[in-house]
Amino acid sequence: MANVVIVGTQWGDEGKGKVVDLYAENADVVVRFQGGNNAGHTLVVKGEQTILHLIPSGILHDNKVCIIGNGVVVDPAVLLGEIDDLRARGLFPPNTRLLVSEKAHIIMPYHRRLDAARENRRGGKKIGTTGRGIGPAYEDKVARCGVRLIDLFDEGVLREKIAANLEEKNFLLTRYFGEEPVDAEEVFAEYREYGKRLKPFAADTSLALAREVRRGSRILFEGAQGSHLDVDHGTYPFVTSSNTVSANAACGAGIGPAAIHNVIGIVKAYTTRVGGGPFVTELTDAVGDHIQRVGREFGATTGRRRRCGWLDMVLVRHAIRVSGINALAITKLDVLTGLERLRICTAYENDQGERFTLAVPSQVEALAACRPVYEEIEGWTEDISQARRLEELPKNCRRYLELIANLADTELALVSVGAGRHETIVLRNPFSG
Ligand code: IMP
């Protein structure tokens, strides 16, 4: 029996939601360990679409424990909204439990305000954040002045923390950014109410998880964003503010790394990026538009149009290394159907004649100066959504997959050929060791 982490190998939006939902069938516990409602996992179950920003995708299954770990930053209004919405639609099974770490940091109204104000100030150098206050919330966590879920249950502590934070934040907002201040009493009244409603879900989730590990439960750790948005290993500064790599599953959930056995890397069959930052294989032509349209590449959180490009194996190799990925799940392969020729980026080159194959250059300026080196293969035109075994795929489609596995030097665990739960070729069960 194995515990599994799922991470994106690109810049997020790899289709992790569907894979997590599928694997959740075999898991007892599903855990979010980083990020917040900057994520948006789109699930299509029985033809009905659900987008989750905070609650682990396992929630749609019977008899699971869903955990939001200490490494997540929680916007309580969003979390409560998701709970209410799922309940109203009958999608929150009564025998499935949701636990939120009492140590998880809370996104406050001033975090959202600062996120927006900083982005405005950056002008042409915008990161293109989701505007959800994620960065400022993590800043306060590290600066040791953050508000945690447990603080919402203690009126004295909550009032004091909000007042202390606003002394500084209002100075910044009014004097530096020239904006209106945030009212401490209003924030206190609003968040105290959130605390009352969230109390039944609060727990020491590290302890809860340890019990599950002892019991031999199968645990699925659901990464958000992608490897190249990792604050250490990504295309800094065009990254998010958390570690998105697999090792953070241990830290962000409060378990030891030895409790993690398999790491599945999600590779979308092409590349997308939302927000700013270099993108070596970006397509700004009709092919890019085609992929964007067919793949419905709009942000699940912000609705922004995603930038699209060819599959970039330098990104994927880098991600495999920093997360110790031992199997890949290929998603959205069907989106490429109908393209006459397909390209896969195998290396980058620059004007100095340097070649990069294993790692993305550490400086974004150096990355922006790179050109892609492509391998080209013929495409396929047949509908692949009914395929449930590799042998049922057209020859060129199989060649495309073989090329990915060879260039990655990593086996494939799953291939997704459509948005629905069962439009999938399953090659390996990651929980079976
Ligand atoms: P933040 O996480 O809102 O601070 O945004 C930082 C960068 O990460 C921006 O480029 C966002 O577009 C990107 N980002 C954050 N979350 C996601 C996600 O779930 N998918 C794709 N991009 C994301």
Could you report the per-residue pLDDT of 31-86, keeping only the tens digit for each? 999 999 999 887 777 678 888 999 998 888 999 999 999 999 999 999 999 999 99
**Amino acid 174: pLDDT:** 98
- Terminal Cα-to-Cα distance of the chain (whole angstroms): 5
| 301 pLDDT above the threshold of 80 | no
CATH superfamily of 105-198: Adenylosuccinate Synthetase, subunit A, domain 2 (1.10.300.10)
Largest CA distance in the chain: 66
**Ligand 1 atom at minimal distance to the Cα of residue 134:** 4
**Ligand 1 atom at minimal distance to the Cα of residue 224:** 19
Token pair belonging to 143: 């600066």
- Phi-psi domain of 400 (left: phi exceeds 0; alpha: psi -120 through 50; beta: other): alpha
**Closest residue CA from atom 21 of ligand 1:** 12
SS3 146: coil
Ligand 1 site, residue 242, Cβ cutoff 6 A: no
SS3 355: strand
273 alpha carbon – ligand 1 mean position (Å): 9
Domain boundaries in the chain? 4-103+201-263, 105-198, 267-432
For 275-291, what is the mean pLDDT? Answer: 96
User: What number of other Cβ atoms are within 10 A of residue 367's Cβ?
Assistant: 21
Ligand 1 site, residue 224, Cβ cutoff 6 A: yes
More confident residue, 42 or 145: 145
| 433 pLDDT above the threshold of 80 | no
**Amino acid 43: pLDDT:** 77
Measure the CA–CA gap between 412 and 285, rounded to whole angstroms.
30
User: Each residue of 175-204: pLDDT tens digit?
Assistant: 999 999 999 999 999 999 999 999 999 999
For 102-121, what is the mean pLDDT? Answer: 97
381 alpha carbon – ligand 1 mean position (Å): 33
**Amino acid 399: pLDDT:** 98
User: Each residue of 89-109: pLDDT tens digit?
Assistant: 999 999 999 999 999 999 999
User: Each residue of 216-265: pLDDT tens digit?
Assistant: 999 999 999 999 999 999 999 999 999 999 999 999 999 999 999 999 99
Ligand 1 site, residue 8, Cβ cutoff 6 A: no
Tell me phi and psi for residue 371, to 5 degrees. Answer: -115, 150
User: Each residue of 336-393: pLDDT tens digit?
Assistant: 999 999 999 999 999 999 999 999 999 999 999 999 999 999 999 999 999 999 999 9
Residue 300 — pLDDT band, cuts 50, 70, 90? confident
Mean pLDDT across the chain, nearest whole number? Answer: 96
Measure the CA–CA gap between 349 and 353, rounded to whole angstroms.
6
Asked whether the whole model's pTM tops 0.85, one would answer yes
Ligand 1 site, residue 223, Cβ cutoff 6 A: no
- Please name the residue that has the structure tokens 């495999």: 320
**Closest residue CA from atom 10 of ligand 1:** 275
Measure the CA–CA gap between 290 and 381, rounded to whole angstroms.
14
For 389-406, what is the mean pLDDT? Answer: 98
Measure the CA–CA gap between 322 and 197, rounded to whole angstroms.
39
SS3 272: strand
Token pair belonging to 411: 């086996």
| 12 pLDDT above the threshold of 90 | yes
Residues forming beta bridges with residue 355, ordered by sequence position:
349
User: Each residue of 158-173: pLDDT tens digit?
Assistant: 999 999 999 999 999 9
- Determine the residue of 10, 34, 38, 51 to mutate for testing ligand 1's pocket, defined as the one with the most ligand atoms within 8 A of the Cβ atom: 38
SS3 126: coil
More confident residue, 41 or 214: 214
DSSP at 390:
G
Contact between 134 and 275 (Cβ < 8 Å)? no
- Phi-psi domain of 196 (left: phi exceeds 0; alpha: psi -120 through 50; beta: other): alpha
Question: Which of the following is catalytic: 13, 75, 140, 334?
Answer: 13
Ligand 1 site, residue 130, Cβ cutoff 6 A: yes
User: Each residue of 326-348: pLDDT tens digit?
Assistant: 999 999 999 999 999 999 999 99
Q: Does CATH number 3.40.440.10 belong to domain 4-103+201-263?
A: yes
| Catalytic (active site) residue 41 | yes
**Amino acid 199: pLDDT:** 98
CATH superfamily of 267-432: Adenylosuccinate Synthetase, subunit A, domain 3 (3.90.170.10)
Q: How far, rounded to the nearest angstrom, does the alpha carbon of residue 186 sit from its chain's CA centroid?
A: 32
**Closest residue CA from atom 19 of ligand 1:** 39
**Amino acid 260: pLDDT:** 96
Which amino acid, residue 161?
A: K
Instruction: Kindly give, in sequence order, each residue whose CB lies less than 8 Å from that of residue 2, ignoring residues fewer than 6 positions away.
Output: 218, 261, 262, 430, 431, 432, 433
User: Each residue of 126-142: pLDDT tens digit?
Assistant: 999 999 999 999 999 99
H helices of 2-108, in order, are: 16-24, 76-88
| Catalytic (active site) residue 21 | no
Q: Are strands 424-426 and 412-416 parallel, antiparallel or unpaired?
A: antiparallel
The HSE-up count of residue 394 (CA atoms within 13 Å, CB side) is 17
SS3 203: strand
**Ligand 1 atom at minimal distance to the Cα of residue 38:** 16
Tell me phi and psi for residue 137, to 5 degrees. Answer: -70, -45
Length of the chain: 433
